[in-house]
Structure 1
């Protein structure tokens, strides 16, 4: 079991309940909410690792055993461990999240008593999420109140009826200083929890007041659908606050990682291989309702590298599979600036990136209201490559009728062409740029090459090395296969595997894993799955062995089809044969060093042992006939 157990807990969760959570949880369902998974053969799934940046998928999920492992960074484990690492939860919080999902009532053992309890004391993250859920209920109820008429009119004027408001959980913060705070305090939440959640703040006289007042609200959800914050729009002229006010940074709300609407758009993004980036909450609503279900928006911050990381995993954006990103910005100066900034970040994408700008400089919400749903779909369909837009914007700043203007435009545009990630497109864009500038190709080509000179740039970081053992010899390979059988199909391999001691293994990390299998109770007593694999991992004496358990748990066996007793017998016979032949060589070396006259008894004892080992080796070789 993982160390810790949640500092907020008064006791620990009963072991049998944790086992039940592991058994009833589908790890593929949990991970697919964050990472797009595709079949990798052998029943396994693959995707881009959510724990390190990569372009080629090395993150493997084994649904049959409910475990995952990344061959790039070495992260691995079960669904509990995935939530701990992906969402920064404690062990207890992860178990509670999965138990709630599976409908399992957890029981706890108090630290000062052996009596179990059934009422969970939630961790901080769960408390903050629960507070937001209660706040959504409160705010949506307030939207129907007489004082919320301006909020309802705002939505109606932008083409959103009651059904749309309900779909997106729109609400209203009433004209009161502490109505929500009092409501949530009555629901059992502490003042400190409300401040930490960003729902309340301290007033000048030290009392707690609501953060949002007299505003239209949109709940902001994470990938799993939990509300983690709010976006609030000003409605009244005498409101001296900003046009949009968002939840501040909290333990559960990090604006650089959040995209509004992603919980509703994620499945279509993965299905279509496309994400549409818009600027506001109403734009997301308009796009979804108009038939562009892949639209998402940032929440009070610029689109950045962390947002890219979130989308790349959903798009499965790799060297082999290209995701499509479409930015929709206003055609005004601010929108153009945002588009150029997006181009800078775009070079982190492998996928194709486009921009869609309305000819009338209208955002998607305005466009839907003025020209209907079809116009919004057409806006996305008429997208153009972002690099084309960026080049056009740069060139438009200069007077191309003058030599100085053309040369300066070339100098400013050349770095954009040099940064195009698809190298095969660069020569075409050199020719296009030369034509747009009215210049010869050669000077433009020289400018692009100079701009792309890598001198002075930092070298790319090396790919993380695997924590697992080497597989550079047949004995190491067969040891890995034997350990995979014990981890993946212990019911089948158990008795035969347990009968072979750790002395038959040569690689030190393999020996450590074999010892961990024994420490966990032996393969013969295991039923398999994530519970068994985690028990072996927990029994490992060092980090290298723990990492290897995770890797072997998802690595396909070296055969076509399902393993059977014959395959287990062949594998374990080869394991022993490799070990025995090694001992035979050692024994022959010892015999050569013994004087048969001076040490006759020792010589014949060693010789007898050699004959016995050679006979054993012949039997193993016959048993191992077949091939891996």
Structure 2
């Protein structure tokens, strides 16, 4: 395996990064009292500011959507980068040289060498993209300019999307990049050039219109090249080959333009080509992306799930496949992948089979927006495609269609929708509902186990507030509250996320071991398996304490006394009930043991009540 960034370097990045400076590049922040800052959340639409930044603890939290964390997690969420990519970006900005652990004995390069190679390849692609873009204005690129103009893309549009031209020469780019200091091996590894029989370098792309393909962070990692001339015996589209940067099964063209709108709208539109992406974006559908020379697959799903925060059924994936046989086949394949999404999947088929680029050219921007607005559920399209192969006017045709369509209905992930689609299928087939429902049930196989009920919470609101306050002190003021907080185990906590958060603090050695700040909060969040507890940690890190001014020892004592009281009183009640049920003569030892525990708890309760004087 590759090495990992050293923990002390991660802590140093957190320490030297001002979260206010990082977030201010994306959000207008205003003072909110207590050293906090406030602004409109960049992760969801809102009219009143609920996005809070604690400069003292270097963390943020939005009370509107629940997003929260430190500067690293902010970069992860705003730019949709991985944890390591976010650290590397902040480290570069802060002038910190990261150190990586060596690779394991299984082979491979140390992580630092890999990171160095990656940066060289990215730089080569950036320089190549600039070179190709500069060539688009030359006399030899007339066919490329005409291609764009015929599709109603202006010069400004070409600049916006970085369109370029590979000149009619064998090694123009290679010579240009070699002059910039790149080695022949680097250009071959990057997929920008290949070795000729003579041993010299030749460019991979020649006499073609090019689109730079970027990753989520906006770095160019490859190119898509469109054939322009009849005497070009290559494929219509030619893409960068597999390289350390470019993995076609993971790449979505236009993702760097679309990512924030996808995350905000909870919708992604999957189209088939580069010009379709441009047409959608320019028509007011900014969430469009396209695969690059390969079918939409499971790795692409992973990319979109990451952007959509695909944890509920509110999101949408909209495919714009053609209505022909190939498009129908692609739609059915997409429905098979549908089960990997929590989001709902739809299909939008253009009139007369036109793709978004053709539709924009023929009928204008509004027609592209209407195409997406008229989407239909993918299951509806899939059922219509399957049943359309049969003669439904005959019994054999209806039964054949039922046998093929029932398993499709049985695959619908929302079980409550299955009976509704079974009824629709019955109507489409002209059959009674009961046999169709039976066929769907049989296709579903064994009955699915009942979903567990959510545990009913009997936690009172005042007690929940006290539990929150105790945890808040551990997160925000561990030096002050830590020794007292750690002395109380998880028993007094009644709300499950509070229990999970308390356990996470215990597993880190307790609050008394921490010095506070963003690193402490993120260590707790990283140690939380419970998603609700993880979100709660970010929230409590910025939520002001329920006291005037900064917390002191008296406030800590009051809070922790109030935390313990309900649990002590519950145990007192249990002991009294147990003592009443015992015969003191026949069960003398047990009676004395319970009485002794009761006496001690009564004493503890009196002390806690005295300590808890004051209000939260």
State the TM-score, normalizing by the size of structure 1.
0.70
What is the match of residue 19 of structure 1?
15
- SS at the partner of 1:217? strand
Q: Pick from 102, 106, 131: which aligns with 2:124?
A: 131
Task: Please say which of residues 403-412 and 243-252 is displaced more in the overlay.
Answer: 243-252
Closer, same or farther in 2 for the Cα pair 1:430/1:213, shift >3 Å?
Answer: same
Is the 1:36–1:313 contact (alpha carbons within 8 Å) kept by the matching residues of 2?
no
* Higher relative contact order (Cα pairs below 8 Å, separated by 6+ residues): 1
What is the match of residue 598 of structure 1?
none
Matched, 1:244 2:237: yes
Closer, same or farther in 2 for the Cα pair 1:216/1:16, shift >3 Å?
Answer: same
Matched, 1:327 2:315: no
Is the 2:486–2:511 contact (alpha carbons within 8 Å) kept by the matching residues of 1?
no
What is the match of residue 293 of structure 1?
286
Partner Cα distance (2:192, 2:451) in 1:
41
Is the 1:275–1:296 contact (alpha carbons within 8 Å) kept by the matching residues of 2?
yes
Is the 1:327–1:354 contact (alpha carbons within 8 Å) kept by the matching residues of 2?
yes
Instruction: Give the C-alpha shift of residue 501 in structure 1.
Output: 9.1
Instruction: Give the C-alpha shift of residue 193 in structure 1.
Output: 3.2
What is the match of residue 350 of structure 2?
358
Partner Cα distance (2:485, 2:322) in 1:
69
Closer, same or farther in 2 for the Cα pair 1:532/1:445, shift >3 Å?
Answer: closer
Partner Cα distance (1:444, 1:373) in 2:
42
Is the 2:252–2:291 contact (alpha carbons within 8 Å) kept by the matching residues of 1?
yes
Matched, 1:368 2:353: no
Matched, 1:275 2:268: yes
Matched, 1:214 2:198: no
Instruction: Give the C-alpha shift of residue 612 in structure 1.
Output: 13
Q: Pick from 323, 326, 337: which aligns with 2:329?
A: 337
Is the 1:234–1:244 contact (alpha carbons within 8 Å) kept by the matching residues of 2?
yes
Matched, 1:306 2:299: yes
Task: Please say which of residues 372-381 and 128-137 is displaced more in the overlay.
Answer: 372-381
Is the 1:502–1:514 contact (alpha carbons within 8 Å) kept by the matching residues of 2?
no
Q: Pick from 599, 605, 612: which aligns with 1:624?
A: 612
Matched, 1:432 2:416: no
Task: Please say which of residues 331-340 and 175-184 is displaced more in the overlay.
Answer: 175-184
What is the match of residue 571 of structure 1?
559
Is the 1:234–1:243 contact (alpha carbons within 8 Å) kept by the matching residues of 2?
yes
Instruction: Give the C-alpha shift of residue 328 in structure 1.
Output: 1.2
Partner Cα distance (2:168, 2:566) in 1:
79
Is the 1:513–1:549 contact (alpha carbons within 8 Å) kept by the matching residues of 2?
no
What is the match of residue 479 of structure 2?
494
- SS at the partner of 1:123? helix
Partner Cα distance (1:250, 1:351) in 2:
31
Closer, same or farther in 2 for the Cα pair 1:435/1:334, shift >3 Å?
Answer: same
What is the match of residue 597 of structure 1?
none
Instruction: Give the C-alpha shift of residue 476 in structure 1.
Output: 14
Instruction: Give the C-alpha shift of residue 279 in structure 1.
Output: 0.7
Partner Cα distance (2:213, 2:528) in 1:
40
Deviation digits for residues 249-274 of structure 1 (CA, Å, limit 9, x no counterpart): 33333333332222222333334333
- SS at the partner of 2:17? helix
What is the match of residue 196 of structure 1?
189
Partner Cα distance (1:621, 1:385) in 2:
60
- SS at the partner of 1:326? strand
Is the 1:519–1:536 contact (alpha carbons within 8 Å) kept by the matching residues of 2?
no
Partner Cα distance (1:259, 1:388) in 2:
26
Partner Cα distance (1:557, 1:531) in 2:
11
Deviation digits for residues 214-248 of structure 1 (CA, Å, limit 9, x no counterpart): 22111112223222221111222233322212223
Partner Cα distance (2:568, 2:398) in 1:
78
Matched, 1:401 2:393: yes
Structure 2: 5+ residue runs without aligned partners? 28-41, 62-67, 100-112, 453-458, 492-501, 570-598
Matched, 1:233 2:226: yes
Q: Pick from 395, 403, 412: which aligns with 1:420?
A: 412
Partner Cα distance (1:461, 1:174) in 2:
61
Partner Cα distance (1:616, 1:441) in 2:
67
Partner Cα distance (1:498, 1:385) in 2:
53
Instruction: Give the C-alpha shift of residue 171 in structure 1.
Output: 0.7
Matched, 1:172 2:165: yes
- SS at the partner of 1:237? coil
Task: Please say which of residues 303-312 and 551-560 is displaced more in the overlay.
Answer: 551-560
Is the 1:394–1:413 contact (alpha carbons within 8 Å) kept by the matching residues of 2?
yes
Closer, same or farther in 2 for the Cα pair 1:64/1:352, shift >3 Å?
Answer: farther
- SS at the partner of 1:267? helix
Partner Cα distance (2:379, 2:55) in 1:
41
Instruction: Give the C-alpha shift of residue 170 in structure 1.
Output: 0.5
Closer, same or farther in 2 for the Cα pair 1:214/1:407, shift >3 Å?
Answer: same
Partner Cα distance (1:97, 1:406) in 2:
59
Deviation digits for residues 58-108 of structure 1 (CA, Å, limit 9, x no counterpart): xxx999855699xxxxxx974447879975675xx64441255xx544478
- SS at the partner of 1:285? helix
Aligned length: 535
Partner Cα distance (1:23, 1:558) in 2:
13
Partner Cα distance (2:82, 2:419) in 1:
45
Instruction: Give the C-alpha shift of residue 396 in structure 1.
Output: 1.6
Is the 1:570–1:626 contact (alpha carbons within 8 Å) kept by the matching residues of 2?
yes
Instruction: Give the C-alpha shift of residue 285 in structure 1.
Output: 0.9
Partner Cα distance (1:228, 1:212) in 2:
15
Partner Cα distance (1:187, 1:485) in 2:
55
Task: Please say which of residues 511-520 and 152-161 is displaced more in the overlay.
Answer: 511-520
Deviation digits for residues 414-467 of structure 1 (CA, Å, limit 9, x no counterpart): 122222233343333323322322333332222222112247x9x9999xxxxx
Is the 1:28–1:63 contact (alpha carbons within 8 Å) kept by the matching residues of 2?
no
- SS at the partner of 1:360? helix
Matched, 1:147 2:143: no
Partner Cα distance (1:193, 1:169) in 2:
23
Closer, same or farther in 2 for the Cα pair 1:30/1:513, shift >3 Å?
Answer: farther
Is the 2:13–2:90 contact (alpha carbons within 8 Å) kept by the matching residues of 1?
no
Partner Cα distance (1:289, 1:84) in 2:
27
